[in-house]
Structure 1
Amino acid sequence: MSWLSYSASEYGRVAVMFGGESAEREVSLNSGKAVLSALQRQGVDAFEFDPAKKPITELLTEKTDRVVIMLHGRGGEDGTLQGALELLKIPYTGSGVLGSALCMDKIHTKQIWQCLNLPTAKYQIADKSYFEAGSCGVIMRQLGDEVMVKPAREGSSIGMARVTSAAQLEAAIQDAFKYDNQVLLEQYIEGAEFTVSILQGQSLPSIRMSTPHTFYDYSAKYQDNTTQYFCPSGLDSEKEAELATLSTRAFRSLSARGWGRVDIMQDKLGQFYLLEANTVPGMTQKSLVPKAAKQAGLDFDELCMAILATSMPEATADKVDWR
């Protein structure tokens, strides 16, 4: 694999934006600090910028040439920050306004994949304004014995639950409403969970995750040492190629670009099902993109420089080619 690269001086003064005010602030702080250190080790004139502590217009005062976005969740991954940076005319890493907004919204993501006949699990939508608790039994019968409950616009598995009864479904939906007015209700796929990282339009080796938790939740991702990661994932070459093609196509179909990650389930018959796409994945010690990059021959510093390169015009070429 080959990656766009530039000398450190070509990037100018770089703000690494992390922290913020979303529910994923703690993860963002860890990601941002790690990326900032890596860029500085590579000679980039990089500095930290936490939008929870100062207005974004101070980027102009700081004479910022570009921004590395390491804000996870709302206010950083949903298109709002990207729109603000467009108005300020400051280049930034990763997906643009549309791609960020679509990937952040699990419901719109599912609808686009469904329209393109990309494989994804059956689902329904619970809306806080007209949700009726009495409908939970019907939903369970339509989606199956097990259902995943997900706030439409949260990341890091925040507010998610796996349920097996109508009573559990009602409680999980009410809990998810604390995070969002719309909740995705998705058929649970029994099988192996994979993730494929995308970097500069190319897929990295897939990772298979295994956890004793009910599902790959926040604790399994960031706190629990019992989670196992397999990279290579154990797929044969044909299935690995199939998964790479599916993930890249799914990512591009959402107008996502630059770098990110697609999560997938594989059922017991070997069929893949798309779960969601992430436009600013975690970059902590436990995060998945660095693990995949290492398997592809990129160390952490090289990965951070490749991500920084997505702020350059040449890195936007893959933004709408979803065929």
Structure 2
Amino acid sequence: MIDVYLLFGGPSSEHDIALRSALNISKNLNKEKYNLNLVYINKEGCFSKAFAFEETNDEFSLVKEINYSKAESIGNFIDEIKSLDPKNTVIIPAIHGTYGEDGTIQGFLDVLGFPYVGNGLLSSAICMDKVTSNDIFYKNGFLQAKYLYTYKEGFDEKFIERCENEIGFPLIVKPSANGSSVGVNKVENKDQLVKAINEALKYDDKALVEELIVGQEIEIAVIGEKNNILATKPAAYLTNHIFLDYDAKYFDKQTIEELPYKMDPKDEEKAREFAKECYKACGCSGFARVDIFYSKDRKLYINEINTFPGFTPSSFFARLAMLSYDKDFSYVLDQIIEDGLRRFNDK
């Protein structure tokens, strides 16, 4: 039986989404194949002691009180796993956004020498920082929105003028490294731009300013690595919002899901191949969700790559993977665990 340690929560704005992902993983992991141990990470980054999953539908019941310092709690986790066989153990870092998708937890697990599912340190860090991934897309000649960025120290009138002259309104402003569309705003004039950049800089030390691409955002699940990559059919949220912001994703009841998203078959095939190329360019492995803009003139623009997308019952990644495999979520989890162990043993 394989020992699985499910790390979840974390100090990011997507903490609660990680709880939902952890609950869905726990309910669907094959108990005959895996010995599941859960480790909750609170918003301060402290690790709980490992605990067994008890059947529940309440993700907040997975939250544990932690009465140790961060260093002591992490030491407890190391003591917990130090005697385990890495060849028969795998970590699932169900931590979205900061700490989980930026390479932090991956680097920690690399140092410990234990296999884990999903992307490694470098690809996680690249995709988390939207400026860095945009630079890579640009170097590879991928179509994307025009963009500029600024640090707080370089944010001045000259930068505002560059945004206006080199890109032009309307614009999208976002933190370079943050998740779930938090701190993202559409702006139509200089005053709004200044305000939006200041807000974005609350979440990250770098603000990204992009051209507004008018079109439908589509999401494609990509699984595998190198030349053995599966790209699923696309899915999309249909919304009246100008762009898919946090409110449109999670609160607007008029937002409609379309899975799979209906598009011209030739364009769909191009989108799936495009998703693969973007995934490979960023060095991704394991799995990710690639978000693409499909414009009214049928062009494809890369938006971003999420290296540990939501694993909740409503998340597109899980449902697209199930659709492609024509299997249940338990089977999808088997595939990504087998992939994580294989990549570790191939090192």
Q: Structure 2 length as normaliser, TM-score?
A: 0.83
**Corresponding residue for residue 60 of structure 1:** 78
Residue 31 (1) aligns with residue 55 (2) = no
Match of 2:63 in 1: none
Matched, 1:212 2:240: yes
What percentage of residue pairs aligned between the two structures are identical? 30
Aligned to 1:226, which of 249, 254, 257?
A: 254
Partner of 2:50: none
Of the three residues 302, 309, 312, the one matched with 2:338 is: 309
Aligned match of 1:6: none
Q: Which residue of 1 aligns with 2:202?
A: 178
SS at match of 2:340: coil
Identify if the C-alpha distance between structure 1 residues 249 and 58 changes in structure 2 by more than 3 Å, giving closer, same or farther.
farther
- For residues 221 and 245 of structure 1, what CA distance do their matches in structure 2 show? 26
Once the two structures are superposed, the pairs formed by residues 194-209 of structure 1 within 5 Å of their partners are 194-200=218-224, 201-209=229-237
> Aligned AA for 2:25?
V
Which position in structure 2 is the counterpart of 1:49? 39
The CA distance in 2 between the partners of 1:88 and 1:312, in whole Å, is: 15
Give the C-alpha shift of residue 118 in structure 1: 1.1
Which whole-Å CA distance do the structure 2 matches of 1:142 and 1:266 have between them? 23
Q: Which residue of 2 aligns with 1:106?
A: 130
Deviations 1:73-121 (A, max 9, x none): 1111111111110110110011111111101110000001100101111
Task: Answer with 1 or 2: which has the greater Rg.
Answer: 2
User: Gaps spanning 5+ residues in structure 2: where?
Assistant: 48-72
Residues 252 and 56 (structure 1), Cα distance of their counterparts in 2 relative to 1, 3 Å cut: farther
After TM superposition, give the deviation of residue 306 of structure 1 in Å: 2.1
Following the alignment from structure 1 to structure 2, what is the Cα–Cα distance between the partners of residues 270 and 291? 25
Q: What is the DSSP-based 3-state SS (H/G/I as helix, E as strand, rest coil) of the residue aligned with 1:290?
A: helix
**CA distance 1:308–1:57, shift in 2 (3 Å):** farther
What is the DSSP-based 3-state SS (H/G/I as helix, E as strand, rest coil) of the residue aligned with 2:123? helix
Q: How far did residue 249 of structure 1 move?
A: 0.9
* Structure 2 match to 1:300: 329
Once the two structures are TM-superposed, the CA of residue 138 in structure 1 deviates from its matched residue by 4.0
Question: Aligned with 1:294: secondary structure?
Answer: helix
2:149 touches 2:209 (CA, 8 Å); kept in 1? yes
SS in 1 for 2:321: helix
Which of 280-289 and 101-110 deviates more? 280-289
2-structure distance, mates of 1:294, 1:166 = 45
What does the per-residue CA deviation read over 1:139-184, in whole Å, with 9 as the maximum and x for residues that have no partner?
1332132111110110111111111111111110000010011011
8 Å CA contact retained: 1:261, 1:278: yes
Q: Is the 8 A contact 1:258 1:316 kept in 2?
A: no
Report if aligned partners of 1:83, 1:97 keep a CA contact under 8 Å in 2: yes
**Partners of 2:210 and 2:122 in 1: how far apart?**
24
Letter in 1 for 2:78: L
Letter in 1 for 2:335: A
CA contact (8 A) 1:119 1:272 kept: yes
Q: Please say if residues 136 and 167 of structure 1, whose CA atoms lie closer than 8 Å, have aligned partners that are also in contact.
A: no
Contact 1:140/1:146 (<8 A) preserved: no
What does residue range 123-272 of structure 1 map to in structure 2 within 5 Å? 123-133=147-157, 135-200=159-224, 201-272=229-300
**Structure 1 stretch displaced more, 50-59 or 265-274:** 50-59
In structure 1, runs of 5+ residues without a counterpart are 1-8, 318-323
Q: What's the TM-score, normalizing by structure 1?
A: 0.89
Change (3 A) 1:285 1:220: farther
* SS of match in other structure, 2:222: strand
